[in-house]
Amino acid sequence: MTVYVHPDEISKKHGILLSAEKSRYLVTVLRSKEGDEINVIDGRGRAYRACIASASKKNVSINIIEEVFPQNESSIKIVLCQGMLKGEKMDMVIQKAVELGASAVIPLVTERTIPRHTAKISRWQKIAEEAAEQCGRAVVPDIKEPAEYKDFLEGLTNYCGIIFWEQGGIKLSEALKRTVPGSRGRCESLYVVVGPEGGLSEHEVSVAEAAGFIRVSLGKRILRAETAAIVAVAAVGLMIDDIEAQACSS
Ligand code: SAH
C-alpha cells in the first residue's frame, strides 16, 4: 500500500498525520492497523518505507523508517498531449497514462475538440495522485491546464515530439530510434500528441511536423481516441525501456 503525502508534511523526525479521507480508506477499506508497514511517496520522486504508529477511522499517523529508491520511472519523460475528450474518457486516459508511466498530461484544445468547458484540473490531479499510489510511483504526474494547440506548439523548448495520426505515419520504433537516449538524438522529454474523438486535421499535423514532431502510425486500424492514447503511452514506454536496455548492454 502506498500513500501520497505532500513533501512539506514529510519529516523523518516527527510522525505524519494522514488526511481524514486517507485515514478512513486505510482503516475501513484496507483494514490497516498499528504496526503495519506502508509506503509513502512525496509525488516528486522520493519514496519512503514507513509504519503505522496509530490508527483510528479518522486519524492515522505514520512514522518514516527509511528512504527507498523505486526504479520505476522511465529514463525519458513521456508527456501525453491529449486532444481533450468527453467527460469520463479523459478521466480514464489520465488514470491509465499515469499507470503506464507518463510524467505529465497536457490537455489540448484542438480544431475538433468538443468539451471546451469541462476541464477539471483538480479532479484530474486527484485521479493522477490515486493512480500513482495504486501503481507505486513516487512521481505524481502533473496535469497541466488545457492549452490551445497553437500555443502549446509555440511554447515548447528543447523537446522531442511524436504525433499520432490516424491517416498514417512512420513506425513508432523508427521514430523512437531518432529520439531516445542511446540512439542518435537525446531529449529529456518526449511529447506524445494524440487527437480527440474527431481526430487531428491535416493542418494540425503539418504544423506539428514543421515544429519538429515526427508523424507516427499506431497500426492498420483507426482506434478510438482513448484506446489510441493508452496504446500510445504503453507502446512508447515499453519501447523506450527496450532501447535503453539494449544501449546499456552493448
Ligand atoms: N474520428 C476519426 C478518428 C479519430 S481517432 C476518424 O474517424 O477518422 C483519435 C486519435 O487517435 C487520432 O487523432 C490519432 O491521434 C489517434 N489514432 C487513432 N488511430 C490511429 C492510428 N491507426 N494511427 C495513429 N494514430 C491513431
Check if the beta carbon of residue 95 is closer than 8 Å to that of residue 61.
no
Give ligand 1 pocket residues (Cβ under 6 A).
164-166, 194-195, 198-200, 217-219, 221-223, 225, 228
The average pLDDT across 155-167 equals 93
Residue 122, phi-psi category: left (phi > 0), alpha (psi -120 to 50), beta (remainder): alpha
CA–CA dist 241, 247 (Å, integer):
10
Indicate which CATH number applies to the domain containing 16.
2.40.240.20
What's residue 177's pLDDT?
Answer: 86
Instruction: Please name the residue whose Cα sits nearest to atom 17 of ligand 1.
Output: 166
224 CA to centre of ligand 1 in angstroms: 6
Atom 3 of ligand 1, nearest CA residue:
199
Verify that 98 and 124 share a domain, yes or no.
yes
Assess whether 214 and 90 both reside in one domain: yes
For residue 38, give its domain range: 2-68
DSSP label at 136?
T
Residue that terminates a domain, selected from 68, 98, 125: 68
**Confidence band (pLDDT; 50, 70, 90) for 128?**
very high
Question: By percentage, how much of the chain surpasses pLDDT 90?
Answer: 81
Instruction: Return d(Cα 190, Cα 242) in angstroms, integer.
Output: 16
